[in-house]
Structures are given as structure tokens and as C-alpha cells.
């Protein structure tokens, strides 16, 4: 796919593999925003916002949806709205974003204990993993009974097998537990498996459906669920400062891509990721998890590769990375794919002579960069993060 048609002052994300959150609005989206509705969304009076909420809820087969400015807000108010009367706990994967990257929202907003689970198969929690970590509400005053299970689909780019989701759902119904989905990349799972969003909607009590990752919107998510639940979510959204006013421009930009060939765009990014995963396999470069969709997780620890070196090698080829996770999205060019292969291979070869001990002191790696940005200022550093 050729580089996106963007006005010159916009920085393109065509070489940005740090995350699919770096997708940039296209000219078509910006022009659409200029014709967006301008009602006050807190009063439910913004036509484009309501249209987006209803459209996404209908796609997911749910009664209602609510626009949230971020996936973090969407996840946190969903989980809070499912919960009553602490003490209670939430069960999720030890890598779950709601647990690792939402600033302890579960502890603060939901006053919840979290039970982070390492999947026995290394990829996704099975029902057996859940049963082994579930805390029953059996009157034992020492425990914090499990009230909700939060799954991520995809997680680390891994697609949750539908049959496992169905098994988990059945067990949740038998045990009176709620089931939430962090669907930051549910579109990727839907595109790759051809499972319609509606089928996920039948399984989960709530889904946080992100628009700002692979779907390319500048911001936001739509949280979907039954009408009574979404009404309570609106209450917590307001409490958390997420009641936005004229959100029509953002909604209209998101609708551009929701109504476009989003499957084709996401499958293009998956093709790039699959190509890189195959390359790594051929070169003996270990991966942390299967590259089912748009992410390739290089197992830096196993390869003893230094993330800092990888970032610098990336910048050498004008590719932005921030660690072992290589994130593809529809704006990445095939030229960038070929460049990142060079950066990864050089880092892998370098590690053979200079093995990096990941067990060294914990630090955020800073990489000096001589890359010049559009204003002519040198980007002094790119932090790398453990993913
Ligand atoms: C899996 C996952 N869930 C939720 C979020 C939160 O989304 P946001 O950054 O919009 O708060 C992210 C990050 O973008 C994510 O990767
Ligand atoms: C950094 C993290 O919060 C973000 N969701 C990403 O995947 O890049």
C-alpha cells in the first residue's frame, strides 16, 4: 500500500513500528471532520457521536455503546460498572493492558484485587487456567471473590480461539461472573478469523472497541453492552472526566474508517507481520509469541538482543521502534518492512558478539537519534519499553 496521502505538514506513520496507535488521520478523515456535527455530546445531542455509538454497538450486536476518549477509560469504566460491593477480585492475563498499562485503575477506581494469570500454554488463558485461579464466593472472609474475568482479544497479537471463549463464557454463566473484553485489537481478530464482531458480542458482557489503534482514528473507543449497563458506564465516564462536548469531529473521522474497507487494511498489516515472522524464523531469530495478526514480538531475552541497539539500528534505517514488539498498521509501507528486517538481523548478529543480559539493572533505555524531524529539530531520544 503506498504512503498515505497526507498534507505535507503531517508526519507520516509509514515508518513507525512502535505501535499501531501511531496511525495518523488521512486527508479524507480531516475533510470529513470539517463537515461533522457540533452538538454537545454530554447531552446526547451530537449526531455524529450518537451515529458512531449506535453503528458500532449494532456491529457488535449490543443494545448500546458509549464513546470514550481512550481505551483505558473505556476499559476502566466498563469493569467498574460491572462490580458491586468490594471485597472482590478480577482475573486476567498477567500481560493484560488493564493490569499492566492502565496506571492501577483497577485498584483505584474499582478497588479491586487483581489475579494475574500466566497461561499454561504460554499464549492465552484456557478455562482450566481460569478455574485454577478463580476465587469462589464461599463465605471465606480471607478471600476477595472473583467477580469478573477480563480477556484481551487479540492479546500480544494472539487471536483468542473462539471455542475457548465459548467455553469460558459458559463457565462464567454457571458461576455468575461477568466477562469483559479489552478489544483494542478486536478488529484485527475479526479481520483475520472472519468472525463477525456480533459473535464476540454474544460472548462478552462488554467490549471496549478501540478506534485509535489499527483502525486509524486519532482517538477513542466505543464501549458496548446492554442499555442499562451503558447507562451506568455513562455515569462513571462523567465522573472520570470523560464527558466530552463537541466530539462529532472525532466521531466522523472514526466513521470514515469503520465504513471503509477496514478488513483489507488490517489484513495488509497482518501480511507484513507474517512476512517478518517468516523472515525471523528463517534467520533463527526467536519470537515470544505467534504472529497471528499485526504484531511480531521478538524474544530479545532468548536472543540476548539489546533493545537499545535494536532501536538505534532501526533509526539507522529510518524506522521507529521502541523495543522487541514490532507493530504493523495499514500505513506502514513495504519498504519499511524490508528496512526493519535489516535492523533486526544486524541486531541479532551484533548480539552474538555482544550478548545483552536482560537481567541487568532495570532501566528505561534511551537512544540518541540524529533523525531530523519536520521542523528540522533533532529527535534527541526514543525511549524503549519492555513489551
Ligand atoms: C491492549 C490495549 N488495551 C487498551 C489500550 C488503551 O488504549 P488507549 O491508549 O486509547 O488508552 C491499549 C493501548 O493503546 C492497548 O494496547
Ligand atoms: C503503550 C500501550 O499503552 C499502547 N496500548 C500500545 O499498544 O502501544
Domains with residue ranges and CATH for the chain: 36-258 (3.40.640.10), 262-384 (3.90.1150.10)
pLDDT given at position 373: 57
- Nearest ligand to the C-alpha atom of residue 181: 1
Q: What is the mean pLDDT of residues 126-130?
A: 98
What is the average pLDDT across 62-68?
A: 98
pLDDT over threshold 70, residue 144: yes
- Pocket flag, ligand 1, residue 333 (CB < 6 Å): no
User: Closest by alpha carbon to 59, among 212, 191, 227, 224?
Assistant: 224
Atom of ligand 2 nearest to the CA of 18: 8
Which ligand gives the minimal distance to the CA of 185? 1
Q: State in Å: Cα 154 to ligand 1 middle.
A: 12
How confident is the model over 136-161, as a mean pLDDT?
97
| Percent of all residues in the chain with a pLDDT value above 90, rounded to a whole number | 88
pTM: 0.93
Q: Is 72 in the pocket of ligand 1 (CB under 6 A)?
A: yes
**SS3 string of the chain?**
CCCCCCCCCCCCCCCECCCHHHCCCCHHHHHHHCCCCCCCHHHCCCHHHHHHHHHHHHHCCCCEEEEECCHHHHHHHHHHHHCCCCCCEEEEECCCHHHHCCCCHHHHCCCCEEEEECCCCCCCCCHHHHHHHCCCCCCCCCCCCEEEEEEECCECCECCCHHHHHHHHHHHHHHCCEEEEEECCHHHHHHHHCCCHHHHHHHCCEEEEECCCCCCCCCCEEEEECHHHHHHHHHHHHHCCCCCCCCHHHHHHHHHHHCCCHHHHHHHHHHHHHHHHHHHHHHCCCECCCCCCCEEEECHHHHCCCHHHHHHHHHHCCCECCCCEEECCCCCCHHHHHHHHHHHHHHHHHHHHCCCCCCCCCCCEEEECCCECCCCCECCEEEECCC
Q: Ligand 1: does its nearest atom lie under 6 Å from the Cβ of 78?
A: no
Quote the mean pLDDT of the chain: 92
**How far away, in angstroms, is 24 Cα from ligand 1 center?**
16
- pLDDT score recorded for residue 230: 98
Tell me, in angstroms, the distance from the centre of ligand 2 to residue 84's CA.
29
Report the pLDDT value the prediction gives residue 357, as an integer from 0 to 100.
Answer: 83
Using the predicted structure, report yes or no on whether residue 175 has a pLDDT greater than 90: yes
Task: Report, as an integer, the average pLDDT of 107-112.
Answer: 98
Span 202-248, pLDDT tens digits: 999 999 999 999 999 999 999 999 999 999 999 999 999 999 999 99
> Between the CA of residue 168 and those of 129, 173, 179, 379, what are the distances in Å?
10, 9, 9, 46
The rounded Å distance from CA 174 to ligand 2 centre is 34
pLDDT reported for residue 258: 96
Which atom from ligand 1 is nearest to the alpha carbon of 75? 4
How large is the greatest C-alpha to C-alpha distance in the chain, in angstroms? 65
Determine the average pLDDT of the residues in 153-178.
98
**pLDDT tops 80 at residue 380:** no
Nearest CA to ligand 1 atom 4: 71
Q: Which of 161, 243, 246 is nearest to 200 (CA)?
A: 161
- Confidence check: pLDDT of 383 > 80: no
Q: How close is the Cα of 19 to the center of ligand 2, in Å?
A: 7
Complex ipTM:
0.98
User: Measured in angstroms, how far is the CA atom of residue 251 from the centroid of ligand 1?
Assistant: 18
Tell me the pLDDT band of 370, cut-offs 50, 70 and 90: very low
364 pLDDT higher than 90: no
| Residue nearest (by alpha carbon) to ligand 2 atom 8 | 19
For 239-286, how does the pLDDT look when each residue is reduced to its tens digit (9 = 90+)?
Answer: 999 999 999 999 999 999 999 999 999 999 999 999 999 999 999 999
Amino acid at each position: 500500500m503506498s504512503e498515505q496521502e497526507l498534507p505535507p505538514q503531517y508526519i507520516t506513520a509509514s515508518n513507525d513500528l512502535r505501535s499501531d496507535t501511531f496511525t495518523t488521520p488521512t486527508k479524507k478523515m480531516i475533510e470529513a471532520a470539517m463537515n461533522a456535527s457540533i452538538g454537545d455530546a454530554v447531552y446526547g445531542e451530537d449526531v455524529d457521536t450518537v451515529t458512531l455509538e449506535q453503528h458500532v454497538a449494532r456491529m457488535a450486536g449490543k443494545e448500546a455503546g458509549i464513546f470514550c476518549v481512550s481505551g483505558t477509560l473505556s476499559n476502566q469504566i466498563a469493569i467498574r460498572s460491572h462490580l458491586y460491593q468490594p471485597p472482590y477480585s478480577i482475573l486476567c492475563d498477567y500481560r493484560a493492558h488493564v493490569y499492566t498499562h492502565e496506571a492501577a485503575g483497577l485498584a483505584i477506581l474499582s478497588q479491586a484485587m487483581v489475579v494475574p494469570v500466566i497461561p499454561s500454554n504460554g499464549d492465552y488463558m484456557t478455562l482450566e487456567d481460569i478455574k485454577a485461579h478463580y476465587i469462589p464466593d464461599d463465605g471465606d472472609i480471607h478471600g476477595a471473590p472473583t467477580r469478573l474475568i477480563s480477556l484481551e482479544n487479540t492479546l500480544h497479537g494472539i487471536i483468542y480461539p473462539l471455542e475457548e471463549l465459548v467455553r469460558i463464557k459458559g463457565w462464567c454463566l454457571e458461576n455468575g461472573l461477568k466477562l469483559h473484553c479489552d478489544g483494542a485489537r478486536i478488529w484485527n481478530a475479526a479481520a483475520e478469523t472472519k468472525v463477525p464482531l456480533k459473535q464476540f458480542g454474544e460472548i462478552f458482557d462488554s467490549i471496549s472497541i478501540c478506534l485509535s489503534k489499527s483502525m486509524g482514528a486519532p482517538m477513542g473507543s466505543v464501549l458496548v453492552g446492554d442499555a442499562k449497563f451503558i447507562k451506568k458506564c455513562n455515569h462513571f465516564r462523567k465522573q472520570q472526566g470523560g464527558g466530552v462536548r463537541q466530539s462529532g469531529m472525532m466521531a466522523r473521522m472514526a466513521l470514515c474508517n469503520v465504513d471503509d474497507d477496514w478488513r483489507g487494511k488490517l489484513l495488509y498489516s497482518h501480511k507484513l507481520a507474517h512476512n517478518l515472522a517468516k523472515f525471523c524464523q528463517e534467520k533463527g531469530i526467536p519470537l515470544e509469541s505467534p504472529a497471528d495478526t499485526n504484531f511480531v514480538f521478538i524474544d530479545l531475552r532468548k536472543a540476548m538482543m539489546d533493545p537499545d541497539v535494536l532501536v538505534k539500528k532501526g533509526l539507522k534505517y529510518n524506522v521507529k521502534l521502541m523495543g522487541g514488539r514490532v507493530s504493523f498498521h495499514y500505513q506502514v509501507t513495504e519498504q519499511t518492512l524490508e528496512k526493519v528486517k535489516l535492523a533486526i538481523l544486524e541486531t541479532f548478529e551484533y548480539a552474538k558478539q555482544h550478548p545483552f543480559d536482560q537481567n541487568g539493572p532495570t532501566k528505561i533505555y534511551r537512544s540518541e537519534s540524529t533523525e531530523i524531524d519536520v521542523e528540522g529539530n533533532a529527535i534527541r531520544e526514543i525511549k524503549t519499553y519492555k513489551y
